[in-house]
Structure 1
Amino acid sequence: MHEQDYALAHAQADQLEISKVLRNTYSLLAMTLVFSAICAFFSAQLNLPHPGLIITLVGFYGLFFATMKLRNSGWGLLTTFALTGFMGYTLGPILNSYLGMANGGDIISSAFAMTALVFFGLSAYVLTTRKDMSFLAGFITAGFFVLLGAMIAGLFFEISGLQLAISAGFVLFSSACILFQTSAIIHGGERNYVMATISLYVSIYNLFISLLQIFGIMGSDD
């Protein structure tokens, strides 16, 4: 009897912890997305130049690893906003390049709407069905190296349709990451809401950029 009571109390405590992580994750994610959007807006309005690939990678991974190290302290929240703000800044010049196109506003609106639809749809699916998506870990690892190889190939070879294929691959990769991370939260595999937020933010960012590229390529053919 006492063992059953202990097991029940333990299960209830786990569920409370999971609910807390889930609530904190989506609250922080909403705030970082708004902050990132504000940074992107001002970056676009001020017509700031894109920092370039090297600075973007150094800035992202530097802030990412700093967030990992500080994830259990209040400083982790500061580096989280620094990371998402930096990525918002890099987004501004990209948006300006699309706004320079004849149908750039429609492309951005379509990419934004599709990103929101995919994210909320996938999140709702996992939260509703509560399916364990841990089996996607292998796909995500393999997908990362495949996409990395394709991007490196794109730097050295002119292959027709490669950019479109890479963008489509990133849409699938980001979608799988959203499913995997959401499942990890509700099944207790991720107990740190800061890292859960960063993971979901990066997936949303990559999803939006990839859809921008796909709609941009499709739109330029019209």
Structure 2
Amino acid sequence: MSTPNTVIIRSESQVLAANKMLRNTYMLLSMTLLFSAMSAGLSMMLNLPHPGVVVTLVGYFGLLFLTTKLRNSAWGLLSIFALTGFMGLTLGPIINLYLQAFTNGNQLVMMALGGTGTIFLGLSAYALTTRKDFSFMRGFLLVGVLVAFLAGLGAIFFTIPALSLAVSAMFIVLMSGMILFQTSEIVHGGETNYIMATVSLYVSIYNLFLSLLQLLGVFGGDE
């Protein structure tokens, strides 16, 4: 039988574990975002071409699988930097495209960055301060991301601009939900591996930025 003291000790240990998890996750997330930004900057400076949808997907899912397999070892840190560095390299040509295609390209990129940061910080703060459990969103988010991903592939291969815009709007909503869900999972002990937590948050931030940039380009871009 658990005594009140045992319950209190257990509760305190859970809080300490969650705080440590949050600290490790946000520290690694900051490092991977910085590394990804450096990779994107290098790609832009060298004016590298975009590798294409197929190479991007193969590289992303391959490195994601590797990171998942190595998540409990020191090699997992190397693989997550390989993943985020690769995604940064694919991001550079996209940003260059917006800078060259629009006279206000710099403004669009900065607005997308600012919007991404505001959404991420706001939702994270909400999940952390309220400590609400958003685990009920798991099924909806999994199905939603799968549908949006397939719709996005259809928009690319069949060149359907309207569908592409709809997918971007869907991704903004879904990635916002993912930020709430993943932060809640960390707080409530549903996610105990900071490497996987970092990957999830990084992917949400990456997709959120791209989706905002695309919508801003369509509705606010000056050619």
Deviations along 1:50-99, whole A, 9 cap, x unmatched? 11111111111111111111111110001011111110111100010001
Match of 1:32 in 2: 32
Segments of 5+ residues of structure 2 without an aligned counterpart are none
Deviation at 1:152, TM superposition (A): 3.9
Q: 1:10 to 1:202 in 2, by over 3 A?
A: same
Return the letter of the residue paired with 1:146.
V
Deviation at 1:139, TM superposition (A): 1.6
Q: Report the identity percentage.
A: 56
Question: Partner of 1:216 in structure 2?
Answer: 217
Inter-partner Cα distance in structure 2 for 1:160 and 1:204: 23
1:207 aligns with 2:202: no
What is the letter of the counterpart of residue 20 of structure 2? K
Cα distance in 1 between the residues matched to 2:85 and 2:118: 23
Give the superposition deviation at 1:221.
7.2
Partners in 1 of 2:58 and 2:122 — Cα distance? Answer: 32
Q: Is 1:185 paired with 2:186?
A: yes
| Matched residue, 1:66 | 66
Does 140-149 or 168-177 show the bigger shift?
A: 140-149
- Give, in whole Å, the separation in 2 of the partners of 1:139 and 1:56: 26
The CA distance in 2 between the partners of 1:167 and 1:142, in whole Å, is 16
Instruction: State the distance in 1 between where 2:87 and 2:3 align.
Output: 50
One-letter code aligned to 1:131: K
Distance in 2 (alpha carbons) for counterparts of 1:171 and 1:89 = 22
Q: Establish whether residue 78 from structure 1 lines up as the match of residue 78 from structure 2.
A: yes
* 1:2 Cα deviation from its structure 2 partner: 6.7
Amino acid at match of 1:172: V
d(CA) in 2 for partners of 1:57 and 1:155?
A: 13
Aligned to 2:94: 94
The residue number in structure 2 matching 1:117 is: 118
Q: Is the 8 A contact 2:22 2:186 kept in 1?
A: yes
Q: Deviations over 1:130-189 (max 9, x none)?
A: 111111112202212321342243246554622211110010011000000000000010
Cα deviation code 1:96-145 (max 9, x no counterpart): 00010211111101100000000000000000111111111122022123
Amino acid at match of 1:182: T
Tell me how far apart the structure 1 counterparts of residues 127 and 32 of structure 2 sit (CA, whole Å): 22
How large is the Cα RMSD of the aligned pairs? Answer: 1.6
Equivalent residue for 2:129?
128
- The aligned length equals 222
- Residue 152 of structure 2 is matched in structure 1 by 151
Quick one: distance in 2 between partners of 1:174 and 1:109?
A: 19
Show structure 1 runs of 5+ residues with no match: none
Go from structure 1 to structure 2 and tell me whether the alpha carbon gap of 1:37 and 1:155 turns closer, same or farther (over 3 Å shift).
Answer: closer
Name 2:141's counterpart in structure 1.
140
Partner in structure 2 of residue 46 of structure 1: 46
What amino acid is the match of 2:141?
I
For the residue of structure 2 that corresponds to 1:161, the secondary structure is: helix
